[in-house]
Structures are given as C-alpha cells and as structure tokens.
Amino acid sequence: MNILLIGSGGREHALAKKLNASPQVTLFAAPGSPGIFQFATQASINPTHHAEVIEFCKTASIDMVVIGPEAPLAAGLADDLRARGIAVFGPSREAARLESSKAFAKDFMLRHGILTAQYRVFNEHQHQEARDYVAQHTLPVVIKADGLAAGKGVTVAETHRVALEALDAAFDGKYGTAGRSIVVEEFMQGEEASVFAICDGERFLTLATAQDHKRIGDGDTGDNTGGMGAYAPAPIVTQDILRRVDELIIMPTLQGMKAEGKPFAGCLYVGLMIDQSGSARVVEFNARFGDPETQVILAILDGDLARLLHSAAIGKLDTSTVNNVANGVACCVVLAAGGYPGETRKGDEITGIEDAEGASDGSVSVFHAGTALHHESDGAASLRTNGGRVLGITASAETLKEAIQRCYKAVNLIHFRGKTYRTDIGAKGIRTG
C-alpha cells in the first residue's frame, strides 16, 4: 500500500513509524521532518497546493493519504482528494468544523443532546452584549476564540477583569479571524482525559484513552501549550465511563454528523472533563489525532495501523485489524525550546538521541516535533532545534511507573541549549491508578 502522510510534527513521526511497521507499506511524506524521513520518502510538494498533492498521488500511485494536522483539514484537502477518487484518512472541511469552529461544535452538541458546558456565542458585532454577559457570569468563566488558534485561544478566567481582557483581545484581533466570534463557557470542575475514535462516517473503534499535560509548568501551572507530555491508558477513564462515552458522546456525534450531511471519517478526538461522580462532559472535539497523545496511543496499539486507517478511509471500518488497543502502558515527555510557549530560539544542536533510544531495550522512541538538519560545509549534518516543541521522548512498559522511569532516563541523555520539560508527566495516572 502506498501512503502519503501530510504533516511534520511529533504526531506525524509517530504515525510514520507505526504505518511503516504495517506489512507492505511504502510511505511518502510532506512536508515531513528529519524524523519522519527515517520511515518515509520526501514528497517534494507543498501540501497547501491541493493540485500538487493530487498530481503527486496520481504519479506515485498513492492508495491513501493520511492527514495529520488540523489546518489542511480545515482547508478542505480531504474534500479535494476525495473528489479525485483518492482515499483519505481525515474528515471533510465541513466535518472538521467540529474542531475548526468551537461555536459550531457547541451548537451541534446542544442539537444532539451531547453533554458539555453551558455556553453562549457572541460575534464581533455583539461586543458590548458579550461584555455585559461576561461581567455578570459566575467565576471562573472560560472565554474561547471560535476558530483555530493552535491551542492558545482559550482563557480560563478567575476574575471578571481577566475575562473581559480576553474578550476584548479576541475582538481586537489577537487571534486574527479565529477570534471574530467567541464562546463564553461555564467552567467545568474535574480531571481531563481524551478518547480517540477511528471513524468511517458511521462506525468507530475507540483506541486507548490518554491524558495530556497542557500547561507548561509542573503541577499544571503556567501558560497553556500544545501539550507537554502524555500517557496512555488513563485510569481515570474506567471501563464504565468509556462505555458511556461511546454510547452518549461518540455514537450520537457520528449519527448527528451523518444526519446533517457531514459524515465524519477520520480520527475523532474527544476531550473530556470527568467530575468526581464519574460523569464525563465534552471540553472540546478535535478532528484529528492528538499531539503528543498519538505518540503514546500508537506505542501501545497492537495492530495493523495502515489497514485500520485504510478501512476507515474507504468507509468500511475493519476492527479485526487491531488485536489490542492497550498492550501495556506508554508515557511521552516533550522537550521544548527555552521560552516555549512564547518566542523560542532555533538552530541549537541536539545530541544524545541514539543513546536515549538505545537505553531501554528498544522501548524508547524519540519523536521529532521541531527539528531540522543543518548541513556543514564539509558535508556533515547535525540535528538542530527548529520549533517550540522539539522532541517527544516516548517509552512503553508494563506499568506506568516503569514507563515514566524509562522516559526520564532517556530525557536525561538528550541535550540542547534551553531544554525545557515537565518533571511530573504521568504522575496523575499513578495517583488515580
């Protein structure tokens, strides 16, 4: 099977590794990364030019395109490929609105009786009305930019002043067009976890549950990031909770999307808030795999990922491609550049990856999130930092404790200037489990 993978982050590196492990797969990638090119041939195309992607698929006899990030989904890449008869793992632009418009997602959940926080949507012409509403809202209150904002468009405000500032900033263009509408939402108490469903438009298969660590600092402090680490499975999501999530959230979402003429085929990422009574409500939907959750979910997936995704892409989900969604436990610690999630330096040399991967009998994988090869004048190449999140150190084991230990042992073997990471990834899972 010839597969073209779109993306360049740690998530896509993990997808590349797992897809490559499926029998008879030849993998191509764009834009790719030095990590992804360990498993895939570079496709010299610009994924934002859909005609180029289509042309490449025809020339290279691509059987399936797997789209990693949200931006190409929101730009309709899947639609354009499908229109040319090319199988795609990833939802249409309309179905991806579950992620690309928080207002759409909230209204959809309300229409279909899916549990989520109370909310109201305001557009930029309702600025004063929104201010009045926020000023009398109970605290904390959550202000969200409607559109895609790389995980940075959400403010959990403890005071009305902070809430109003967030609202004004969104309407003043802080998030560009993503902030033209905003969602004002009730704050939900509880613990977060996420569930990933591989969907073919009607049916689904739920993969391992995971917990991300969104804040930059230990103990969930400081700014929100794209995700500083993850582990899977997440014991907070008991079998009973998962059964209810399947029945009360994922199933009605697929049925509702189909009934509204936008069947969802791809990975549905359900971000959950689980309260003390074990009731789960939706915090957010994403229309793609999570990053860094994919790194841990795929590390413990026992199955043939290429056949699983292909079956979903052609509308015939084949669950027999998977033997066990959670074969062991995995942990991923993200190494970020100094200053992340703000401005970061680029171009610092990275060393120690081979030592880290060799440290624990092949159970450690180092996924590249933001790296680049630097070519010296003598022809040698060195790996440099090239983004906010630089690497994702992922280890699997039989227990979470062991996976965490292996991860941090590997983390200590990798060096680059400004290396920044959390020291408590997975600790929540040990407390819960």
Secondary structure (3-state) at 415: strand
Q: Name the residue number minimizing CB distance to ligand GLY.
A: 227
Work out whether 266 is an interface residue with ligand GLY (CB under 6 A): no
Work out whether 45 is an interface residue with ligand AMP (CB under 6 A): no
CA distance 253 to 14: 27
Report yes or no: 66 and 4 within 8 Å, Cβ to Cβ. yes
Of 200 and 293, the one with the shorter C-beta distance to ligand AMP is: 293
Question: Which residues from 216-245 bind ligand GLY, rule CB under 6 A?
Answer: 227
Of 65 and 287, the one with the shorter C-beta distance to ligand GLY is: 287
Residue 192's binding partner among ligand AMP, ligand GLY, none (Cβ under 5 to 8 angstroms by kind) is: ligand AMP
Work out whether 142 is an interface residue with ligand AMP (CB under 6 A): yes
The string of DSSP codes covering 18-42 is HHHHSTT-EEEEEE--TTGGGTSEE
Question: Which residues from 275-294 bind ligand AMP, rule CB under 6 A?
Answer: 283-284
Of 30 and 334, the one with the shorter C-beta distance to ligand GLY is: 334
Angstrom CA distances, 7 to 69, 86, 173, stand at 6, 18, 27
DSSP 8-state assignment for residue 248: I
DSSP 8-state assignment for residue 141: E
Report yes or no: 33 and 383 within 8 Å, Cβ to Cβ. no
Report yes or no: 391 and 371 within 8 Å, Cβ to Cβ. yes
Residue 291's binding partner among ligand AMP, ligand GLY, none (Cβ under 5 to 8 angstroms by kind) is: ligand GLY
Of 28 and 231, the one with the shorter C-beta distance to ligand GLY is: 231
String of contacts with ligand AMP for each residue 182-221, x by CB under 6 A: ---x-xx---x---------------------x-------
Of 54 and 298, the one with the shorter C-beta distance to ligand GLY is: 298
Secondary structure (3-state) at 263: coil
DSSP 8-state assignment for residue 124: G
Q: Least CB distance from residue 64 to ligand AMP, whole Å?
A: 29
Report yes or no: 115 and 280 within 8 Å, Cβ to Cβ. yes
Of 43 and 283, the one with the shorter C-beta distance to ligand GLY is: 283
Near ligand GLY by CB under 6 A: residue from 80, 200, 212, 348 = 212
Work out whether 31 is an interface residue with ligand AMP (CB under 6 A): no
The string of DSSP codes covering 287-337 is SS--TTHHHHHHHT-EE-HHHHHHHHHTT---GGGEEES-SSEEEEEEEE-
Residue numbers at the binding site for ligand AMP (CB under 6 A): 117, 142, 144, 151, 154, 156, 185, 187-188, 192, 214, 271, 283-284
